[in-house]
Structure 1
Amino acid sequence: MAYIQASFLQMRDENGKDLGSMATGQAKEYARKRGFELVAVDEKVNPPIYTVKPRQRFVPKSPMDEAKAQYTVTAASVRLKDEEGKSLGVMSTAEAQKLADERGLDLIAVNNRIDPPIAELGNLSKYIYDQKKKAKELDKKNRAAAKASEEKMLKLTSDTTDSSKADRARILKQANDFLVEGHPVKLNIRFRGREISHAEGAMDRLREEIRVGIVDGTVVKETRSTDGGTYTIQCMPRKKK
């Protein structure tokens, strides 16, 4: 409620009936008890004339109301298409709305980024449903594509025991499976403690194992951590012919 400077008000009820002069505080209390608010009718007279009306409650817009507002035409003119997609040319929004009303259809803003915007005749609720469906399908495809090209990380041991060799063969087979599916693969080999001083010699042997083992991809890059303890070998899928 706006600040009221006057000490007294000439009051009317919600039906316009004259309630006489009231102190401003008394008028506010009268409105509050009825769940109303004070509304100015004429503030130029003395005392100013006020009435009461039901207090407006905030009602959040539904998702459908917000969607409808998005496709409402606000420009003075539009490039109009009919319900079959045929161009009807540029016309005033009032003319386009009249044509929509005559056909029992809605006037839908489909592209507000140009001037004049593009609008078409159709069923707005169905159009909104179709747009949401398309957006959902596109999002699903994008997530599937991102997942399909997701980089996979695998760890290799550097031991020379038979069990370690068998473990590396299993991991390299798994790497090939990922590469066939289109995933980039990173192979991590970590050396600890005294192993670091002999890491480069061990890596010569492991590089050969990886070169022979990776048959469905290409080794494109090798990096070494600053402490020298971790090697990372990046493999990319072979390009399909």
Structure 2
Amino acid sequence: MEVAFIRRYDRTKPKKNEDLVNERIRFKEVLVIDSTGEQLGTMSSRDAQQKAYDAELDLVCVAPKAKPPVCRIMDYGKYRFEQQKKAREMRKNSKQVSVKETQLSPTIDVHDKNVKLKRTLKWLEAGDKVKIAVRFRGRQMAHIDIGQKILDDFVAECEEFCTIEKPAKMEGRTLTAVLAPKKSK
């Protein structure tokens, strides 16, 4: 009584970023590497698949753009698990930069400005980007130059901790600038 080898994955049409495995490999000839890392040489893909089935493993194309394409005999489930584990680790180690916002007005008082400045500097030291917005209401639109001066003073006080990523620009009724933290060497 002969026992057939059962594969543990779906054999439907591959998606864009999916690996070429077993029957999905359509190349005439492939360079085959066995499970121990030893090169078996160039052979037809059908022969390579048969060698993989005999070893009760899968044939995975690891370099489809090479001449000839390189395929490896391995446990595909274990390979996918390792790839997912690496991707999770990369996501965990990458730092997301968030953009905080400080809102000012053309009529802001000195103390209020200092409180907002202190909070902005704290965000910059933490590595976050900061968007500074001066909002104009009603008749304040006639005195945009006052808001521009307040924004320029605010940015000048932050200058030793940050770089100006986007200079002051009027967007509707709001004057905005974006500051990024200085790169530590």
TM-score by length of 1: 0.57
Tell me the equivalent position of 2:171: 225
Question: C-alpha offsets along residues 25-51 of structure 1, whole Å, 9 cap, x if unaligned?
Answer: xxxxxxxxxxxxxxxxxxxxxxxxxxx
RMSD across aligned C-alpha pairs, in angstroms? Answer: 3.1
Question: Structure 1 residues 64, 212: CA separation in 2 closer, same or farther (over 3 Å shift)?
Answer: same
Question: Structure 1 residues 64, 160: CA separation in 2 closer, same or farther (over 3 Å shift)?
Answer: same
Q: Is the 8 A contact 1:218 1:238 kept in 2?
A: yes
Matches within 5 A, 1:151-190: 151-161=99-109, 165-190=110-135
Pair member with larger Rg: 1
Tell me the equivalent position of 1:34: none
What SS is found at the alignment partner of 1:239?
coil
CA distance in 2, matches of 1:210, 1:102: 69
CA deviation after TM superposition for structure 1 residue 212, in Å: 1.7
Q: Is the 8 A contact 2:34 2:72 kept in 1?
A: yes
CA distance in 1, matches of 2:12, 2:88: 15
CA distance in 2, matches of 1:172, 1:218: 15
CA deviation after TM superposition for structure 1 residue 205, in Å: 4.2
CA deviation after TM superposition for structure 1 residue 97, in Å: 3.2
Q: Is the 8 A contact 2:134 2:147 kept in 1?
A: no
Tell me the equivalent position of 1:107: 59
Question: C-alpha offsets along residues 176-195 of structure 1, whole Å, 9 cap, x if unaligned?
Answer: 23323333321000121222
Question: Structure 1 residues 137, 129: CA separation in 2 closer, same or farther (over 3 Å shift)?
Answer: same
Name the count of aligned residue pairs: 170
Q: Give the unaligned 5+ runs of structure 2.
A: 1-7, 15-19
CA distance in 2, matches of 1:132, 1:153: 35
Alignment-mate amino acid for residue 112 of structure 2: D
Match of 2:155 among 202, 210, 221: 210
Matches within 5 A, 1:1-241: 64-66=9-11, 70-72=20-22, 73-138=25-90, 140-141=91-92, 144-145=94-95, 147-148=96-97, 150-161=98-109, 165-220=110-165, 221-225=167-171, 229-241=173-185
What SS is found at the alignment partner of 2:10?
helix
Q: Is the 8 A contact 1:107 1:122 kept in 2?
A: yes
CA distance in 1, matches of 2:87, 2:79: 12
Q: Is the 8 A contact 1:67 1:128 kept in 2?
A: no
Alignment-mate amino acid for residue 231 of structure 1: L
Alignment-mate amino acid for residue 110 of structure 1: V
What SS is found at the alignment partner of 1:65?
coil
Q: Is the 8 A contact 2:106 2:140 kept in 1?
A: no
Q: Is the 8 A contact 1:80 1:119 kept in 2?
A: yes
Relative CO higher for 1 or 2, CA cutoff 8 Å, sep ≥ 6? 2
Moved more, 106-115 or 65-74: 65-74
Q: Is the 8 A contact 1:173 1:213 kept in 2?
A: no
What SS is found at the alignment partner of 1:159?
coil
TM-score by length of 2: 0.71
